[in-house]
Amino acid sequence: MREYILKRLALFIPTIVLVTIMVFAMMRILPGDPALLILLGEEGEGSYTQEELDNLRHQLGTDRPIIVQYGKWVWDLLRGDFGESIWDGTPVKNELRDRLPVTLQLAVMAIVISVVIAVPLGVVSAIRQDTWIDHVTKIFTITGVAAPTFWIGILVIVGLALWFKWLPPLDFANLWTDPVTNAKQMIFPALALGYHDIAFIARLTRSAMLEVLREDYVRTARSKGLREWIVVFRHALKNALLPVITVAGLQFGALMGGVVLIEAIFLVPGTGTLLLDSLHRRDYAMIQAIILLAAVFVLTINMIVDLLYGWLDPRVRYG
Amino acid sequence: MLPEQRIEEALPTIARGWRRAPAPVRAVIDFSRRKPMGAAGGGIVAVLVLIALVAPLIAPHDPYKPDAGAIYAPPGGQYLLGADETGRDVLSRLIYGARVSMWVGIVSVLVGISIGAVLGIVSAYVGGKFDLITQRLVDALLAFPVIILGLGIMSVLGASVNNVIMALIIIMVPRTARTVRSQALSIKEFDYVLAAQAVGAAPVRIVFRHIMPNIFATCIILSTITLGLAITTEASLSFLGVGVPPDVPTWGTMLRAAADAFISVSPSLAVFPGVAIALAVFGANLLGDAMRDVLDPKLRGR
């Protein structure tokens, strides 16, 4: 196991380094000089002298060689310093501290909702294969995989407004100070975000269950007279859940993309809306911090999933 | 020989010719018999491509022309699916939207899968340092969630149809390269490749004559499966306002306009473009699943 962990870690570090280079390179190619943007203002109405421009470039550090800029950025990152927002000069870290928990809460809710709904759905449609309940599930999962997340989000809002004359409260409430309002705001975005994964995970659970139910040890369990639900839950489900755990983990990382769309639609003040606003303002420091965090988050989740899988299924370790 | 005799002699061949339709037609018929759902999916995609091709002929109205008297007109009446916030015909815009979706989807898939496949094969065949570096690059690119990578690339390139295609290609290449590489690695060890190496075939010849044809099935499967991802991603980026410019009618920009406007005024505006996207993705997914079952049983359930 130790060798497996070390091997996996050896893959993790160079990838993170490459990710930082890519994010940094992407931001440098972005058209527009941040110093010029600050001086001109959002509408381009400001005026400036060459001296002011040079001073600001020096202050932002954009006049130094690229490699020095990169080095400084990474060095600061290692010390937990994400730099200052180019937009309003406040530390990027402060803004992220406010926004990140919101996005994480949304993602965790979405993945919990989808696993809690999808796994029973998959199990039922596997043990009742080719009955009406299996067909209904199949229609649901096929449409769920096809319908884009942001459209589901729009439909949820339209549905709520039209049939219930109700919209989630607009003023965002903190999870810890006002959990009731917070739940009202977060439950529908989480459902919309999780919808795709419900379909995906249910489909996977069903096929994994069907495979496991044909195994010899399930037949043995049945023939020694165990009750059906013990066979299904203790013998079959336990083994069928292995691929499901992997996929749920990977989907959790992938949710970081869908979160941007869902936050934009439901006006949730998380990192997704922050990313969109920052892109609009060309706030390099903020954009690169968010994109980097998303990538590192995905890489970390993938590594944890791999390690978990290696621990749960010894065959993986020696493969 | 009399002409009649010649015809008589040729008759069995002609008759056989009649019974035996040309190979591609036979393949389609055979596929539809074995995989009716997959054929239905292929049919949906084919119809959408056809709609995209003949859009100017079948669109009942000009998709760009506003009609001040029909703002937020409900479905039915002169405008079959209603009109949008400036009174433009929703049905015509949907039909023109198919053009962008299909064009972006098909072109990005063709180019993206091709580049990814070549990269994957070369990476597997050359091996060594080249393989190591390519695979770490692929790892790094795969770390970015699709939408976030798309947002980043589009903000560098600027909103336009060609740039969306470019972004989608950058999204697809690492995914394809990863899958193709693992396939090519196993093919590389087959006896016929070793035999070709033994008789002194050049690496380029081995890659193109011996490995490439065996990757082809995988590429077709990947293409159909990825088409759905391409359509959704284009719509998502256009919805966020960084994809296709807002004046071009696409399903994503239509949904953006619907969400920007007060949606409860005219809910149908938020429904139809989404149905179109879901239908296209649904068709591509059905076709992809069936292709996978038919072409490569090994990939099943993945």
ipTM, 2 dp: 0.84
pLDDT for the residue A51: 79
- CA of B108 to nearest chain A CA: how many angstroms apart? 19
Query: Within an 8 Å CB–CB cutoff, is residue B158 touching chain A?
Result: yes
CB proximity list for B102: less than 8 A, separation 6 or greater = B48, B49, B52, B280
Query: Within an 8 Å CB–CB cutoff, is residue B76 touching chain A?
Result: no
pLDDT for the residue B301: 43
Residue A1 in this model has a pLDDT that exceeds 90: no
* Tens digit of each residue's pLDDT (9 = 90 or more) over A212-221: 888 888 888 8
- Please count the residue pairs, one from chain A and one from chain B, whose beta carbons lie less than 8 angstroms apart: 129
A154 closest CB neighbour out of B146, B148, B274: B274
* Tens digit of each residue's pLDDT (9 = 90 or more) over A281-318: 878 888 889 999 999 999 998 888 888 888 877 776 66
Extract the tokens encoding A91: 């530390």
B240 closest CB neighbour out of A26, A255, A264: A264
CB contact under 8 A, B301 and A207: yes
pTM of the model: 0.85
pLDDT for the residue B222: 87
Q: Which residue of B has its CA nearest to A272?
A: B148
- CA of B21 to nearest chain A CA: how many angstroms apart? 34
pLDDT for the residue B262: 58
Extract the tokens encoding B166: 């470019």
Per the prediction, chain A carries an average pLDDT of 84
pLDDT for the residue A254: 81
Over residues A239-257, the mean pLDDT reads 84
Query: Within an 8 Å CB–CB cutoff, is residue A242 touching chain B?
Result: no
In this prediction, the residues of chain B whose per-residue pLDDT falls under 70 are 1-21, 70, 261-265, 296-302
pLDDT for the residue B300: 46
Query: Hunting for tokens 């079948």 — which residue is that?
Result: B58
CB contacts under 8 A, A 13-72 vs B, are 14-15, 18-19, 22-23, 26, 29-31
Extract the tokens encoding A287: 């954009």
Q: Enumerate the residues of chain B whose CB falls inside 8 A of the CB of residue A263.
A: none
CA-CA distance, B86 to B151, in Å (whole number)? 28
Least confident of A59-73, A248-262, B103-117, B238-252: A59-73
* Tens digit of each residue's pLDDT (9 = 90 or more) over A77-134: 888 888 888 778 788 888 888 899 999 999 999 999 999 999 999 999 988 888 888 8
CB contacts under 8 A, B 107-146 vs A, are 136-137, 139-141, 143-146
